[in-house]
Amino acid sequence: MKIAITTSSFARYSEEPLDLLREFGAEIVLNDRGRTLTEDEAAKFLADCDGVVAGTEPLTRKVMENCPNLKVISRCGAGMDSVDRAAAEDLGIAVRNTPDAPTVAVAELTVGLMLSLLRQVAPMDRDIRSGVWKKRMGNLLFGKKVGIVGFGRIGHAVAERLQAFGVSLAYADPYVEDPAYERRELDELMGWADVITLHCAKLGGGTSLLDRGRLSRMRPGGVILNIARGGLIDEDALCGLLTAGHLAGAALDVYSHEPYDGPLKHLDSVILTPHIGSYAREARIIMETETVKNLISAFQDGTVHA
């Protein structure tokens, strides 16, 4: 049985996931390109594989139809935007993911970036490195109104951690009703909050959830974070509102196109990280191990046949 691993950093911190595959008797093929595969590259790489430990490469119908042996896609992560699940169902390919493993890592990163934005940590770090000693006045997180867009596992984990900071919390999510927290409609939330943080799924059709109109609803001096999915925010509109001074800052870990090479790079009020929400060593090991266990169990539980 041939199993492909497309995430280029897989098993960097623990051999346990690879050991599990070896014990299962798998022939392992690794992505040695050091980056996310394109659609054509994925089709070629997976052509004769029985299963894949998948990253964020596009696993489209075209890719799957080019892989007649493929029986299991096991996503290393929670997001499923890169997998055509309808095609997988049509072709009898089992699909798994790890929705719980990245939760704490993403929640902690969110709170850290929120504090860094408000206290202007990143620009002062850049100042000192360029020989400038400048004390920038920041803001407290205490007392702020924080709006969470998407209140699943990660959104809820962010809310739990923010309670210790003395903030007012509300969320927008049409699929969740949590009486412990205040729920608001998205447009209302945008105008209410000082801080907006995104933890929701991506819309279909390439439309940004937060377009210029919705971003403009934010209060002057507000900050926004996207640690969820690239494309949720209209990045050009965000850049314009930051440049105009309507928004005070933004932190992005995901982008419409990755690697990111757009105008937000040139704004001092923006923190950019390279899609590292789950990149805490402990969380990564758990996530990779769960991904492999999910793949193996799909073969063993009768869902698919080797």
pLDDT in tens, 53-63: 999 999 999 99
Q: How confident is the model at residue 8 (pLDDT cuts 50, 70, 90)?
A: confident
Run of H or E including 171: strand 168-172
Calpha distance 65→70 (Å, rounded): 9
The token pair that represents 115 in the structure block: 């504090």
Calpha distance 261→282 (Å, rounded): 30
Calpha distance 233→55 (Å, rounded): 22
**Distances from the Cα of 286 to the Cα of 16, 49, 260, angstroms:** 10, 24, 28
**Distances from the Cα of 98 to the Cα of 28, 74, 103, 271, angstroms:** 20, 8, 10, 27
Provide the CA 72 distance to its chain's centre, in angstroms.
22
Calpha distance 266→138 (Å, rounded): 20
On the 0-12 / 13-18 / 19+ scale of CB atoms within 10 A, 301 is exposed
**Cβ atoms of residues 50 and 69 within 8 Å:** yes
- Is the model's pLDDT at 131 over the cut of 80? yes
Run of H or E including 108: helix 103-119
Over residues 273-301, the pLDDT tens digits come to 999 998 999 999 999 999 999 999 999 98
Catalytic site residue from 89, 182, 258, 282: 258
- The type of residue at 71 is K
Decide if 229 is catalytic.
Answer: yes
Average pLDDT, the chain: 95
Over residues 159-210, the pLDDT tens digits come to 999 999 999 999 999 999 999 999 999 999 999 999 999 999 887 777 899 9
Query: What is the edge-to-edge ordering of all strands in the sheet holding 168-172?
Result: 182-183, 168-172, 145-149, 195-198, 222-226, 247-252, 270-272
List, as one string, the DSSP characters of 207-264: --SB-HHHHHTSPTTEEEEE-S-TTSB-HHHHHHHHHTTSEEEEEES--SSSS--SGG
**Cβ atoms of residues 52 and 75 within 8 Å:** no
Note the pTM of the prediction, 2 decimals: 0.85
CA atoms within 13 A on the CB side of 280: 16
On the 0-12 / 13-18 / 19+ scale of CB atoms within 10 A, 34 is exposed
**Which pLDDT score, from 0 to 100, does residue 206 have?**
76
- Any idea which residue has 């949590």 for tokens? 178
Contacts of residues 40-47 at CB distance under 8 Å and 24 or more positions apart, as own/partner, are 42/6, 43/67, 45/4, 45/6, 46/4, 46/6, 46/70
Catalytic site residue from 229, 235, 288, 290: 229
Provide the CA 58 distance to its chain's centre, in angstroms.
15
Decide if 258 is catalytic.
Answer: yes
